[in-house]
Chains A and B, each alone.
Chain A
């Protein structure tokens, strides 16, 4: 398993797409520095960090995170789709299941790295705006890790789609078709909690109920995120077992 992972990492590093993880903090900085909610909340007694977090997490988790997850999945499969890479890789003494798991783990590591860089960008925005309030470490951690957990099922589906389609555009189109409706879904109390693509937003939304470990109740987390993950991961896993290379 370790050697497959390091082989995957090596292929990825040489494809020069690792800097893609900096897209997260760049978007974070862009939203954080362009939003000017401060003027609306002047005089209100709230922690200044919350104001930035609200606007940054909204755009970042609603559109950017689900979409970029798909790009990572496609990038990881790009090498194999070119000139018979799947044949060469699977001719090695490795099982298909392990290849699938290794690719999945690597994507999730990259997503974690991007989330941590995004955390840095939150901090940087606060520094540039000169916030003096205490940094809400616990809340930020919850939303950083929560957003990451919420992408588990989305990455599984995208990995499935990326293995299935040779081009980048097709899995991306699938991703867009499911991600755009979440803008409406989050407005609805009945659909929002059950829509898997709206979960990154719910998990990163700092106004949520914070008694639980994350900003969503455990049963919602387990059924929607957990259930989606099992469904998409098994789907992709079984598809890859049968795929003709």
Chain B
């Protein structure tokens, strides 16, 4: 059942611009560094001995913002595909459970985000090699900076999907997304328990892997809460 739902959800997002945005996010993040390094390359290379590390930090300064806003956009898109034509009713009237409907939406979004992270990894690597930042390419670090924020942002995905699918007025989830990006932008002053801080991979122990584990754990929890709430509500 979930396979068929997934197929139909992928069909629904065709030609809506979601694939385009999924690719644009990571490309944009690296493109900003292309501009940054293109304009003041010499200055930036002087800043640190570890050119690769400094380059990765520069890329990573935009990743959390792009992820938080990207999640808000994609979740709202997915929800408004059903909202606009009042399709929730027709979808729920099919012989599928509401829980699987919700699971399928979440899975589609998670796949899109995962794809985004993969593109980010490849783009970061490609431009880094192009910049000629030194001989020892830190493949593990590049992969970490691409996939850790993905796992750390799962709670935000679960929360935004929950809000977007239960609110009829999409202004509310979008506003929550804006608050999210303000939090992500000022994550260095946030306490560790705020989920918007996690994609930045900062915490008081300086162990990014904690954010990944928290992200997966709390992400599943928020997902279950959202799913149960979605299933209990009446479809208008």
- When the two chains form their complex, are residues A27 and B171 in contact, meaning their CB atoms are under 8 A apart? no
Compute how far the CA of A34 lies from the CA of B144 in the bound complex, rounded to whole angstroms: 29
Q: Is B100 an interface residue (CB 8 A)?
A: no
Interface size on B, residues (CB 8 A): 33
Q: Name the contact of B174 in the complex, choosing from A31, A34, A168 (C-beta under 8 A).
A: A168
Compute how far the CA of A158 lies from the CA of B138 in the bound complex, rounded to whole angstroms: 42
Q: Is B178 an interface residue (CB 8 A)?
A: yes
Closest chain A CB from B84 CB (angstroms): 6
Q: Name the contact of B73 in the complex, choosing from A17, A75, A169, A188 (C-beta under 8 A).
A: A169
Q: Is A170 an interface residue (CB 8 A)?
A: yes
B28 contacts across to A, CB distance below 8 A: 177, 180
Compute how far the CA of A68 lies from the CA of B35 in the bound complex, rounded to whole angstroms: 26
Compute how far the CA of A155 lies from the CA of B72 in the bound complex, rounded to whole angstroms: 20
Q: Is A135 an interface residue (CB 8 A)?
A: no
Chain B 59-100, CB-CB to A under 8 Å as 1, else 0, gives 000100110010011101100100010000000000000000
Q: Is A23 an interface residue (CB 8 A)?
A: yes
Tell me the nearest residue of chain B to A82, going by C-beta: B84
Q: Is B24 an interface residue (CB 8 A)?
A: yes
B76 contacts across to A, CB distance below 8 A: 167-169, 172
A169 contacts across to B, CB distance below 8 A: 73-74, 76-77, 80, 170, 174
Q: Which of A11-53 contact B (CB under 8 A)?
A: 15, 17, 20, 23, 27, 30-31, 34-36
- Interface SS of A by simple majority: helix
Chain A 160-196, CB-CB to B under 8 Å as 1, else 0, gives 0000001111101100110011011000100000000
* Interface-lining segment among B45-53, B126-134, B182-190: B182-190
Q: Name the contact of A176 in the complex, choosing from B73, B77, B186, B190 (C-beta under 8 A).
A: B73
By size class, the interface of chain A is 20 to 34
Known: A167-B170, A169-B80. A63 touches B182 (CB 8 A): yes
A168 contacts across to B, CB distance below 8 A: 76, 80, 170-171, 174
Seen from chain B, the residues whose Cβ lies within 8 Å of a Cβ on chain A are 17, 21, 24, 28, 32, 35-36, 39, 62, 65-66, 69, 72-74, 76-77, 80, 84, 169-171, 174-175, 177-179, 181-182, 185-186, 189-190
Seen from chain A, the residues whose Cβ lies within 8 Å of a Cβ on chain B are 15, 17, 20, 23, 27, 30-31, 34-36, 59, 63-64, 67-68, 71, 74-75, 78, 166-170, 172-173, 176-177, 180-181, 183-184, 188
- The 9 A-B pairs at the shortest CB distance, nearest first, are namely A168-B170, A169-B76, A169-B77, A167-B80, A34-B189, A176-B69, A67-B178, A75-B171, A173-B73
